[in-house]
Structure 1
Amino acid sequence: MRLWEFDRLGVVGSMPFDVNKDGQMLVSAILGYLWMSEEELGFDSTILDDGGRYTQIQRGGRMERLGLEELIKRERSVAGRATTCWRGSLEDEPDGGLVIKDSWEFEERPEEGLLLREATEAGVENVARYYHHETVHARGEMDDVRRNVRKGLSDTGGRNPFQRRPTLPDAVTSPATSSSSRPGRGRSTSTSRTITRKRSSSCVETSMPPPKRSCSNSPVKQDAYQRRNRVHRRLIMRDIGKSIYDANSLRAVLTGLLGGVKGHESLLNAKILHRDISIGNIILNDAEDDGFLIDLDLAIKIDRENASGAPSKTGTKVFMAIGALYGEEHSFMHDLESFFWVLFWLCVHWNGPGQKRSKTDYESWNYKDTKELAEIKTGKVLKEDKFNLEVNENFTPYCKPLVSCIQQLRKVVFPNGKSWEREDMELYSQMKSILMEIRKDLSIQV
């Protein structure tokens, strides 16, 4: 028998033991699990409850209490970033909407909060505005996996448990899935009943790509994975909106995309490159009269001197530009192409407000090798007549009015059916002009 525990780095297994020969170990293990506090079981001790869930932050020299009113997003995974977002508000400003975002980032990655604060201070438009960010602390220590969750437990002597081996080593680990090992080896001895949020489980929504997100075919040594660490970070933003999948009209979809393109251009002017344009990161405001970008997790400063800590191929695979899939150095042109693929993806799946999304063969793109997907996408856009046939046959009936929009975008994003050869800032104005013109036509039709 082995004991397994899971955390944001993956899974760690104990050394095997024979329950028939060591019954005391079995009983000790069961009792250890039964006696664990909620924090040791994985609940977040910084999320409290006194008739309503809330958390506290130290900002501007004083403590502020943030009510957590509604769960907006929960990434369904154990290992990984486990991004969770709530709609919330300050205790003394109940009408001031905030978004509280928790995620477990690789320690070497630049903090999203620092970039977003810089963008906000630079006056960037059509991007979620910064309010506060922090590294979460539990029991007075930085909340990370290696030191605070695993308590220094070493996994360097392990192996991938999914690979067959003739003998069983003392410790078993997997870089792709990894957590703590001994029963009772948890995060505190607290028995507080105020903790209300569990740190997640696993599934992928129909017609949505798997949650994040780095796409790299480069081999990475197992010991490199084992040296990595994830840190619990919290970011609070001022702007609240909804996915373009939740738009009430095609016009609203184009409004969201237009706002996203404007936000991307504004970020670039502040020397920040987003690098992860996807359906989930283009937000439509509640009034549906503007859109904005979120999620600077993979963003970089254009004039940076150090590596970003992200793999060479970054983004949400199905929305990645062809060149990015081939491993080209990421450019703003790749992100603009991603807006094209976002609209394409939406139009082959979305059946309108409140309707179930279609299941399509395009979902196989999630599981393609990056080079293979690049070749597939190239084949889609290479010939104009074949592309026109593709969209006319595969766009949902509700999205058929956007066929002319995707056709016009193809002509500027892929001039002569080819990927761009040089960077051109004019592409921003060309794409914005197309989106505004088609949106105007839709208004006339209505």
Structure 2
Amino acid sequence: MPESPTFTYHEVPLEDFIAATSDAPNGSETLETIAEEIRMSRAFDQALQQFVSALALEELATIKVSSASIFDMIFERCQELGSGGPSMGLSVESSPIVFQIQHHATILSNYFTDSEPTIAYQDDMETYQDHWFTEEFQEPTRPDRIPSSLPKWGDYIRAKATDAMARRGNRRHVIGVLVNHSNVTFWYFDRSGGFYSAPVDLVKRPCEVISGLVRLSLSTAFALGLEPAIEFPDPWRAFDTMESAAIVIQGIPFLLQVAVHISRDLEGRGLVLFSARKQDTSEHSTSLIIPENVMIKFSWEHVGLPRSDSLYRRAEQCGVHGVAQLFCSSTLGHLSEGPRTRLKHESRIDYRNRELRAQVLGPSCVPLYRVLPDRDFERAFRSLVEVHHRLYKNAGILHCNINMSSLMASKDSPPRGVLLDLDFAIQVQDGDRDLSPEPTFSGTLPFLSMDLLSAATPPPNRLYRHDLESFFYALGWILGRYDARGNPRMLHQFAAWHKGPLNDIISAKWRFMGVPSHIPSTRSSPSLQIWLRRLCRLFNGGYGGENQDADYDQETLGGGITFDTFMGAAPQIGP
């Protein structure tokens, strides 16, 4: 039986969409009456006429204002009902529903061919949205060869959904409304893609649009995407704050504190890492010994994929210090329990079901890129390369996803690195026995080896030096992408590492290692720059000699890329 698509988007009838996503109280006659009252109101008629005039003149600013006025009327009317929902004092700007209002010079068909670029007029700028794929992936196929079923006119609403999903790290899905010319579509996004309603013309069929918005306005916070596995004192405030959010894992209560890392991917694992504090367990019977301060990692994994719990235990059994310790874990839910299952049978399509896995880990950490001063950062980075090497040599485990969420440092001792996230890791050796795990194109684009980016299907076997190459890119990324306090810099030279066709990403990495010049950075340590330049030469030389000798050692790029050469390129650190 063929495997379901990785990420899918498909169209469903509007009534099916609303029935699947809304949990508004029953009473369709009352809801229809509200919709009709709004439709017949003078304020609605004026806003609609303003909207029609703006369409004729192609005035995007006026289109946005008039559309927002229409939607805000619905929120205000629902507020009068005392629903307690998103309409309570909220508007288009502050609703947990994401809105995207755009306009095309001509009324376009519902679908675009793959070869036809979409020009969306967004804040008076023309932007071509030709290439997108999730930044982190774990598939047997190159990401650029996974077909996208997202209509091109949905690019901007998807981008807003990505922002909403990453804002607090506490959403299971996102609901959106897209106004494209006069056509309105409703959208559902989750970690396996989503679905959207058939377009409805706001000018010709306003009651259908109003009715759909009324139902969503009267829905609960959880229907609009809030994660039900997390307990919130006020679910509506949870879209803006994680204050007092709590969760129970294996019967043990934890208070979630600060988001240490939130993945910006929409489709895929959506990894989120929180610092957390264990609560009073006197009422809960457990034999687990867990420190008071821990981290909790949430990630949406494909159902059926092996859990990484056993790899953490193997690392501990093999005496690999520096890998995060796993205390307990749990599965908290499945995508199949949500709106997808509530679609009518004829509106469903195959998709890859995912489950939300939570792991309680220690010690408490901070991201490597936030470690200060530079000497502590450099020591932490060195220790991470060493921990990774011990994990490979002593436990036979290859990490396969070195990135910003896996490179951490102990909060209490910042010079000590902590290696996290073994979800993509593979066991390549068991004692003296070599194992042959099935290779995949798993990893995170900015840090993925050029071997894997340029390889044809099937992917090549994963090598230790592929992870060393990821460490190399991670060092350059941190120096150029973050300021001295660990805050992202808006302008940096690495945008091409994760945007556009894969061939452009490969070219950008070639340029990076081919010209070992100074990387603009607010970190002042000269030894970091020296180490990076030497690594540039190492990898440039290794890849440059690849095709010159039939007996070339691919495992080490001719002996140039090993743990010893990587660490040997680092200048000595003083006491």
Aligned length, in residue pairs: 355
Work out the CA distance in 2 between the residues paired with 1:31 and 1:107.
35
What secondary structure, in the 3-state scheme, does the structure 1 residue paired with 2:401 have?
A: coil
Could you tell me how far 1:12 is from its partner in structure 2? 1.1
1:371 and 2:561 correspond: no
**Distance of 1:412 and 1:18 partners within structure 2:** 59
Separation in 1 of the partners of 2:409 and 2:425? 20
Deviation per CA, 1:199-228, whole angstroms, max 9, x where unpaired? xxxxxxxxxxxxxxxxxxxxxxxx8xx431
Post-superposition offset of 1:236: 1.2
Partner of 2:566: 431
1:254-281 deviation digits (Å, cap 9, x = unpaired): 2121121122112213122111112332
Residue in 1 that maps onto 2:41: none
1:433 deviation in Å?
Answer: 4.3
Change (3 A) 1:372 1:247: same
Distance 1:28 1:248, change over 3 A: same
Corresponding letter in the other structure for 1:272: I
Is the Cα contact below 8 Å between 1:39 and 1:45 reproduced in 2? yes
- Indicate the residue corresponding to 2:316 in structure 1: 120
Question: In the alignment, which of 392, 404, 417 is matched to residue 268 of structure 1?
Answer: 392
Deviations along 1:380-403, whole A, 9 cap, x unmatched? 435xxx42xx23x74557254423
CA RMSD of aligned residues (A): 3.4
Q: CA 1:354–1:75 in 2, change beyond 3 Å: closer, same or farther?
A: closer
Measured in 2, the distance between the counterparts of 1:248 and 1:117 equals 31
Q: The residue matched to 2:327 in structure 1 has which SS?
A: strand
Asked if 1:402 corresponds to 2:528, the answer is yes
Q: Does the CA contact (< 8 Å) of 2:496 and 2:504 recur in 1?
A: no
Residue type at the aligned position of 1:294 = L
Report the TM-score when normalising by structure 2: 0.54
SS at match of 1:280: coil
The reply on whether 1:348 has 2:477 as its aligned counterpart is no
Q: Compared with structure 1, are the counterparts of its residues 361 and 46 closer, same or farther at alpha carbon in structure 2 (3 Å cutoff)? A: closer
Superimposed CA distance per residue, residues 138-188 of structure 1 (whole angstroms, 9 cap, x where no aligned partner)? xxxxx2223444225379x7xxxxxxxxxxxxx6x9xxxxxxxxxxxxxxx
Give, in whole Å, the separation in 1 of the partners of 2:426 and 2:331. 19
Indicate conservation of the 8 Å contact 1:349/1:396, yes or no: no
CA pair 73-350 structure 1, distance change in 2 beyond 3 A: closer
Encode CA deviations 1:98-148: one digit per residue, 9 max, x unaligned.
111112122243323343233334332211111111111xxxxxx222344
Q: Which amino acid aligns with 2:565?
A: Q
Q: Establish whether residue 320 from structure 1 lines up as the match of residue 454 from structure 2.
A: no
- Counterpart position of 2:257: 69
1:12 equivalent in structure 2: 195
- SS of alignment partner, residue 367 of structure 1: coil
Q: Distance in 2 between matches of 1:229 and 1:66?
A: 27
Residue in structure 1 matched with residue 224 of structure 2 by the alignment: 41
Moved more, 112-121 or 425-434: 425-434
Find out whether 1:32 has 2:215 as its counterpart.
Answer: yes
Q: 1:128–1:289: structure 2 CA closer, same or farther, 3 Å change rule?
A: same
Query: Which entry has the higher C-alpha Rg, 1 or 2?
Result: 2
Structure 1 residues 35 and 78: CA distance shift in structure 2, 3 A: farther
Q: 1:357 to 1:313 in 2, by over 3 A?
A: same
Higher mean alpha-carbon deviation, 364-373 vs 89-98, is at 89-98
Q: 1:306 to 1:247 in 2, by over 3 A?
A: closer
* Alpha carbons 1:349, 1:360 under 8 Å: kept: yes
The alignment partner of 1:56 has SS state of strand
What TM-score results when the alignment is normalised by the length of structure 1? Answer: 0.69
1:357 is matched with 489
CA distance in 1, matches of 2:523, 2:224: 48
Q: 1:2 to 1:413 in 2, by over 3 A?
A: closer
* Runs (5+) with no aligned partner, structure 2: 1-183, 234-242, 282-289, 430-434, 547-551
